[in-house]
Amino acid sequence: MKVAELFIKCLEQEGVEYIFGVPGEENIDVMDALHDSTIEFILTRHETSAAFMAGTYGRLTGKPGVCLATLGPGATNLLTGVANANMDLSPIVAITGQAGLGRQHKVSHQYYDMVSVYEEVTKWNAQIKTPDIVPEVVRKAFKVATQEKTGATHIELPEDVAGMDVDSSPLDIVRHHLSEADEPVINEAAKMIEQAKRPLLLVGNGVTRGDATEELRSLVKVANLPVVHTFMGKGAVAWTDEHSLLTAGIGGNDYITCGFGESDLIVAIGFDMAEYSPKSWNPEGKTPILHIDTQEAEIDACYPVRLNVVGNIKENIKNIKKALPAKERDLSWVSHVRDKAFTELESFNNDNAFPVKPQKIISDLRSVLEEDSIVISDVGAHKMWMARLYHCYQPNTCLISNGLASMGVAVPGAIAAKMVHPERQVVAVCGDGSFQMTSAELETAKRLNLPIVILLWRDEGYGLIEWHQMKAFNRSSHIKFGNPDFEQLAKSYGFEALNVERTEELKPTIEKAISLNKPVLIDCPVDYRENMKLTEKLGNIIC
């Protein structure tokens, strides 16, 4: 058989369902081999979108999402989405074509050394230089991508190698398991929590990756522990639980930050520093850290670790719970933080000012969607509002990229999310800036007949950059742009298009979009004057 055929058989052995991508001349052998494969190729309109889709698939399933591009510009386009997945710790395997071995030693059409280029944005990457190593390379790529901490790997397949003959077969899959922390470490961790007067849990994305949600919730209940979520940890404890202090990470002296200031022990579980810099919540490094994760903590002066509990998060949480006695704690300091956060959101329930305020958009969206609905926030000013005020019942129901935080992720992400969970409502929340970066994928969504809803916050500019400019200089610079007629644009792709022209229309418009069970775009003007009002408010909060 050809190397390309063996390559596809190896992907099938790994359980690959989809490959997202844009093919090129240098991977035509791979594309031909897919004709006889169980793997479905999802043709996208841009390589970055393909990697965004693969990253979302990886985050939601725990299995590596797979994306493909050709050499040169295809591989460089793919790079941003791969880097985004790697920093968000989403398992992903990227495949790129390459020039034949005979012209890689010299300046050649579309040739760059992509193994070198991808080195900084992946956990591991390699070129397939000879036919016989295909099974080893594919097996290692999937193994490394799924090992904690999960992330991106990259395989480069030169066009001449892809067409060579080979006599080999895929390797068997050997599952890897994380060990548990030793009993003395567990007992010491339990002792630290028990002796703390005001311990506070900071929960990151690792809890979801480790399938430890139920264990975490049981620990919280038994030990009576308050919980703060990172943007990517949202929903690990339901927002309706009295122990939940909702989400931290927007910056400034927010209500949640006051909770950090009152704590005498931060228990960080599944937390990655790319999610939320410790300098923002422990600026002087005075509050000690109990670090529970799959790896020891990064060295940071504002993250003074007193104990590392390393290994299987699920089992380690379970063991710490066993070592802890049930305990009553005074949670009044938690209650007032919750009360202030809820009061702020609820105060906008009946606000009918137009354009629509961010708080009102989120209030209406949350009231319409089901508990397991998946919302994917793009990057921009709307991301900060969604992170702060869109509250979750379950993990992985509000996906926010907060590592690399690349714009354009929401529409491709919503496509992948609907493919993984066709039974759930899926909404992409986009600004008009981020939407235009990957809006061509509307055609992909329509072609695949995926009933996603795109909720577009329109302000005719890069609102988050303007927000920072106003805070720093009290004036904005070069952030305004023009927009197409989004209704006509959406219709040209076969989407249903709905416009919000009065704030009272927003909630019924969202309800209608969901009920249509087809691809829908909602164009909603947003009042971002609220950005600076929030900045002023955060500056006046006294803990």
Helix (H, G, I), strand (E, B) or coil at 52: helix
> What is the predicted pLDDT for the residue at 539?
61
pLDDT-derived band at 543 (thresholds 50, 70, 90) equals low
**Predicted TM-score (pTM) of this structure:** 0.95
Q: Peptide bond preceding 221: is omega within 30 degrees of 0, i.e. cis?
A: no
Q: What is the mean pLDDT of residues 80-102?
A: 92
538 versus 447: which is more confidently predicted?
447
Answer whether residue 398 shows pLDDT above 90.
yes
Helix (H, G, I), strand (E, B) or coil at 269: strand
Q: Tens digit of pLDDT for each residue in 424-442?
A: 999 999 999 999 999 999 9
Answer whether residue 537 shows pLDDT above 80.
no
Pick from 180, 220, 229, 214: which is nearest to 199 by CA? 220
Q: What is the mean pLDDT of residues 39-44?
A: 98
Q: What is the mean pLDDT of residues 262-288?
A: 92
Q: Tens digit of pLDDT for each residue in 501-534?
A: 999 999 999 999 999 999 999 999 999 988 888 8
275 versus 44: which is more confidently predicted?
44
Is residue 54 a contact partner of residue 27, using CB atoms and an 8 Å limit?
no
End-to-end CA distance of the chain: 69
> What is the predicted pLDDT for the residue at 260?
85
Q: What is the mean pLDDT of residues 51-64?
A: 98
Q: What is the mean pLDDT of residues 97-103?
A: 77
Q: What is the DSSP letter of 172?
A: P
> What is the predicted pLDDT for the residue at 435?
97
Q: Tens digit of pLDDT for each residue in 341-365?
A: 777 767 788 889 999 999 999 999 9
Choice among 106-115, 381-390, 521-530 with the minimum mean pLDDT: 106-115
> What is the predicted pLDDT for the residue at 339?
79
Ordered by where they begin, the domains of the chain are: 3-162 (3.40.50.970), 183-336 (3.40.50.1220), 347-540 (3.40.50.970)
> What is the predicted pLDDT for the residue at 340?
76
Tokens, residue 233? 């940890």
Q: What is the mean pLDDT of the chain?
A: 93
Q: What is the mean pLDDT of residues 241-258?
A: 78
Tokens, residue 128? 């397939």
Q: Which residues contact 336 (CB under 8 A, 6 or more apart)?
A: none
Q: What is the mean pLDDT of residues 463-470?
A: 90
